[in-house]
Amino acid sequence: MRGSVDIAVVGGGVIGLSCAYELACRGWRVGVWDRGALGQEASWAGAGIIPPGQVDKAALPWERLRAIGAARFPSLAEELRELTGIDIGYRRCGGIEFLEAEEAAEVTALWSAEGIAFERWEPEECWRREAGVIPPDGMTAWYLPGMAQVRNPWLMRGLIAACERRQVELHPQEEVVGLAGSPPRAQGVLLADGSVQAVERILLAAGAWTDGVLKHLGSVGAGIHPVRGQIVLVRFAPPLSHRILIVGKRYIVPRGDGHYLVGSTEEPEAGFTKANTAGAVAELLDFATRLLPPLHQAELVKCWSGLRPGSRDGWPIIGPLPGWENVWMAAGHFRAGVQLSPGTARLIAEVWSGQTPCVPLEAVGWHRPFPSGPRAFRS
């Protein structure tokens, strides 16, 4: 039986690595195991949108985790730069949400209640501030100066390097296939090569593959499933829009160097198939060129897709696995993995360190009530 670590994190995406880093910073000895390469699935593929938030005024648990992320990312970016020399591309660039008339009152009321700064822009203001942008018919434009972004691949490189600096053991290409011990306490994790890693605690953070891990462990499924999202990257010089543009679940994210991410689709029917499709790419380009017509002349650079971890209600499950005291899961973050990652890491580290959690566990765990009502942000 292997030794040397206190905590085994199963899954090397943004949730698993963020939790590993936070726990290691608090003095835990941590190891991360992943069936594939670290940080190469949905965490790498996303657009890195960081919505604004006010921690003390966020009404729902998930909105509070999102607000914790908004507050943490500026210092996290500097922390990772100082520790590793890696820039994660954090920029507070601002964003414009285009809302249907019937939803605008509801959504902006949520922003107001949380103390999020925003202002309505008339079409003329959009044209003046963001040359080339044509607001969709029947929609109003709302400017959010606190919206920010990170570059997902850079963030993943930064987290991997930071974990290494904090002596986290990283085990890519090593699959966890079971637990050692029996309920209510696991003694360790069983690896595909037949060895056992002895640990005190286990965190399952395997993204879209979490239910497969649960099956290996003999547990019931949590309803975590893959939802393919396709993204297109284009380049246009000189740069056009400087702010993130969001219409429902689609967006254009300007990287500041003439590159624009255009996303994204939601395709649960695709299962674990990651291929791009001509139809989806065409739809995304049509959306982008309608909203920002100069992109008709943009260079098509590449396209890719990722498998987001969907859940039964679109929100993650964070907490102990039923029947186990020391086996937890943090999965199902869907479209919000990056923005919820600092809050998820803080929550788990606080509970395991004996501190008061930043959100009530019963509100986010396996048996939590399904959230109801509108969301402040959807991208």
Q: Where are the domains of the chain?
A: 7-87+152-223+313-363, 95-146+225-310
Residue position matching structure tokens 């003390």? 56
Q: In the predicted model, is pLDDT for residue 367 greater than 90?
A: no
Distance of alpha carbon 333 from alpha carbon 344, whole angstroms: 10
User: Using 50, 70 and 90 to split pLDDT, how confident is the model at 219?
Assistant: confident
Q: What's the pTM?
A: 0.96
- The pLDDT value recorded for residue 371 is 66
Bigger pLDDT: 160 vs 375? 160
* Torsion, Cα of 339, 341, 344, 349 (10° steps): -140
For residues 11-34, give the mean pLDDT: 98
Average pLDDT over residues 188-192: 94
* Tokens found for residue 127: 């044209």
- How large is the average pLDDT for residues 122-145? 91
Q: What SS3 class is residue 362?
A: helix
Mean per-residue pLDDT, 79-103: 97
Q: What does the pLDDT average to over 123-151?
A: 92
Residue 373 is predicted with a pLDDT of 66
Judged by average pLDDT, the poorest of 50-59, 189-198, 238-247 is 238-247
Strand partners, 50: 148
pLDDT of residue 300: 98
DSSP string, 213-271: HHHHTTPPP---EEEEEEEEEEE-SS----SEEEETTEEEEE-SSSEEEEE---BGGGT
Pick the residue with more confidence: 237 or 19? 19
Which is the CATH superfamily of the domain at 7-87+152-223+313-363? Answer: FAD/NAD(P)-binding domain (3.50.50.60)
Percent of the chain with pLDDT over 90: 85
| 232-274 pLDDT per residue, tens | 999 998 888 889 999 999 999 999 999 999 999 999 999 999 9
Confidence grade of residue 2 (pLDDT, cut at 50, 70, 90): low
In a 3-state reduction of DSSP, which class is residue 43?
A: helix
* CB-based burial label for 248 (10 Å; 0-12, 13-18, 19+): middle
Residue 335, CA distances (Å) to 7, 85, 236, 238, 340 in order: 27, 28, 26, 30, 10
Confidence class for position 372, pLDDT limits 50, 70, 90: low
**Per-residue confidence band for 278, with pLDDT thresholds at 50, 70 and 90:** very high
pLDDT digits (tens, 9 = 90+) for 32-47: 999 999 999 999 999 9
302-352 confidence digits (pLDDT tens): 999 999 999 988 899 999 999 999 999 999 999 999 999 999 999 999 999
Average pLDDT over residues 206-220: 88
Measured between alpha carbons, how far is 138 from 148 in angstroms, rounded to an integer? Answer: 26
Task: Categorize the per-residue pLDDT at 55 as very low, low, confident or very high, splitting at 50, 70 and 90.
Answer: very high
- pLDDT class for 218, splitting at 50, 70, 90? confident
Six token digits for residue 292: 């920002």
% of the chain beyond a pLDDT of 70: 98
Q: How confident is the model at residue 199 (pLDDT cuts 50, 70, 90)?
A: very high
Q: What pLDDT, on the 0 to 100 scale, is given for residue 202?
A: 98
Q: Fold for domain 95-146+225-310?
A: D-Amino Acid Oxidase; Chain A, domain 2 (3.30.9)
